[in-house]
Structure 1
């Protein structure tokens, strides 16, 4: 069974590859191995608890995730995850703090600490890192992140000690880097509030949908700290330095409606429509070529870091890979035949 992380030519993404290797080394390494069991190939994915649901653990095995691929490909189902070759690798991913479901090629990650307004504890962030890494191995084309209980996330857990808080910030930066550099697009569905580290998590996503009355902001300066997990880096690029400094220096929260007018979120809708709107965006993206989507993400994410002409030359090199991918031929044929294209999974 072949497990790969990115599908574009690795030579075109050395810095991204290096960052991911650092992320793996600085966190809990995932080991993969496979063996024959009767007529089936069994892939063993070693992950530490509590990422794996207790129901998936076999006595005497410890923290092993057993994924069985039978001869042929089973029909795709809701809540089922697949590798790029169509192999089923699990029915769901669950922990006490993260819930993941899948419908067709769209996965939904739910932060599951509703009693703490989904505050970002170190344990939650560690589970989130593992989940992001896992989803990259599957045929998932888009991921939606939301919070349980009607709140996206209240940010860092202030009941932690200073050392624990800094450690949580370090892990938060790891997961923000993983989401921001992922070949899979992420959409934040902001219900209720996205504050502090919760907003920084949403800013790492590629798109954001918020309720018109949702509250968003970076109030860290009001409690003696500053937005140190990406807020001061992402915000100026999205809404300009002037508004970014106003939001950070005052620590004030703004409504989802105002956030949309500032360009901080893509859509502001009624609270009841947040998930439907995020799902509509996800479906539109998932119908496009995964290879073209990944190339687009890589190019736009580096737009501010590279001079225009230098970046355009890099895009030319990237186009060499994308233009020779079967998706491009399928897209051209579908256009000429006036039909919807059917693109390969990553």
Structure 2
């Protein structure tokens, strides 16, 4: 019965990810969203007005782009970076940012060549300050609900991406900004970064998954304490609480968390991409059910990797004592 239940849970999980699973066995062409897509290897910094060192991916980046998407190449091919770029609004979540991030998520989720997504900020000192309250104040009451629903849907889709996702928190991540990071599989923060779900200060509650993901990350009692008090913690305390996996001392460039996230992404690259996707699915679905059902989900996910060419390549490489060359097939 547990096995049948496990396959039933797995089938339900596969439905919204059907395109992704098809892509796991058939290489698909690169999907590209309509916003700025950049191909460079390293972040560069330039001075920009009163906002200090402003992060740019290349000299082609435009100040009007709220999000810059970068498909890394060379040895980092397979890593995609989402760089939030709203310096004047402290990277607050606006209608346009939601639209652009939704397009970026839609593009990578059907691209079998994408191995890991890193979400970071192009603005030193800030990850994301949450909802754009200035824009929110101009909304009619009837517009607020639909906008929050779209933001919640975006963060849910980010959490549902089939490949690993890493949030690089080099500055403040508050409200919806922390909810975005919580939707990622792994969070890395600078020790100086500030994090908190502070919505109760505004007489509202976290509305993009914070009340659900924070307890799953750090436990129910601690999550209640942080939300009830609207408490903000730094990166070091966040590491102690289990809110982030790694806390690193900030560097002069202000991108220490990004660099650590990139190191993690590079650790994932040599592994079998289909296996990683199936492992993520098994973990995400299994953690929500009893152990017997979870084991059945694992069995169903394992069955997906058996017929792959990558599995045979792994065995052959082991026999020949050479690094495997996985293609995601």
In structure 2, the residue corresponding to 1:246 is in which secondary structure? helix
Q: 2:118 aligns with which of 137, 144, 153?
A: 144
State whether structure 2 residue 193 is matched by structure 1 residue 231: no
Distance 2:144 2:93 in 1: 10
Classify the secondary structure of the residue corresponding to 1:149: coil
Deviation string for 1:286-327 (max 9, x for gaps)? 221111111111111123321110121122122112122111
Who is 2:259 aligned against? 276
* Distance apart, 1:342 and its partner CA: 1.2
TM-score (norm 2): 0.78
Which range moved further: 92-101 or 273-282? 92-101
Question: 2:117 touches 2:163 (CA, 8 Å); kept in 1?
Answer: yes
**What are structure 2's unaligned runs of at least 5 residues?**
1-6, 19-28, 42-59
CA contact (8 A) 1:93 1:100 kept: no
Say if 1:252 and 1:153 are closer, same or farther in 2 by CA, change over 3 A.
Answer: same
Q: Could you say which residue in structure 1 is the equivalent of 2:200?
A: 221
Question: Which residue in the other structure is 1:205 paired with?
Answer: 184
In 2, are the aligned partners of 1:154 and 1:196 still within 8 Å (CA)? Answer: yes
Residue 327 of structure 2 is matched in structure 1 by: 344
Q: CA deviation at 1:167?
A: 2.6
Q: Considering only aligned residues, what root-mean-square deviation do their CA atoms show, in Å? A: 2.8
Q: What is the DSSP-based 3-state SS (H/G/I as helix, E as strand, rest coil) of the residue aligned with 2:189?
A: strand
After superposition, the Cα gap between the structure-2 partners of 1:120 and 1:277, relative to the gap in structure 1 and judged at 3 Å, is: same
- Counterpart of 1:107? 80
Alignment correspondent of 1:40: none
Partner of 1:294: 277
1:36 corresponds to: none
Give the corresponding residue for 1:155.
130
Q: Report deviation, 1:204.
A: 0.3
Structure 1 residue 158: Cα displacement: 1.4
1: CA distance, partners of 2:319 / 2:16: 41
Residue in 2 aligned with 1:127?
Answer: 100
CA distance in 2, matches of 1:45, 1:214: 33
Superposed CA deviations along residues 215-266 of structure 1, whole A, max 9, x for unmatched, are 0000000011101111110111110111101110000100011101111101
Secondary structure in structure 2 of the residue aligned to 1:302: helix
TM-score (norm 1): 0.74
Aligned equivalents of 1:11 and 1:330: distance in 2?
Answer: 30
In the TM superposition, residue 18 of structure 1 has moved relative to its aligned partner by 4.5
Q: Number of matched residues?
A: 280
Q: Which residue of 1 aligns with 2:66?
A: 97
Note if contact 1:97-1:111 (Cα within 8 Å) is conserved in structure 2.
Answer: yes
Structure with bigger RCO (C-alpha 8 Å, 6+ apart): 2
Tell me the equivalent position of 1:165: 144
Distance in 2 between the 1:129 and 1:135 partners?
10
* Pair 1:16–1:215, CA change in 2 (3 A): same
- Give unmatched runs, 5+ long, in structure 1: 1-9, 22-42, 56-76, 80-91
- Relative to structure 2, which stretch is displaced further, 156-165 or 278-287? 156-165
1:271 CA displacement: 2.2
CA contact (8 A) 1:183 1:297 kept: yes
Partner Cα separation in structure 2 for residue 285 and residue 221 of structure 1: 38
Q: Distance in 2 between matches of 1:11 and 1:99?
A: 39
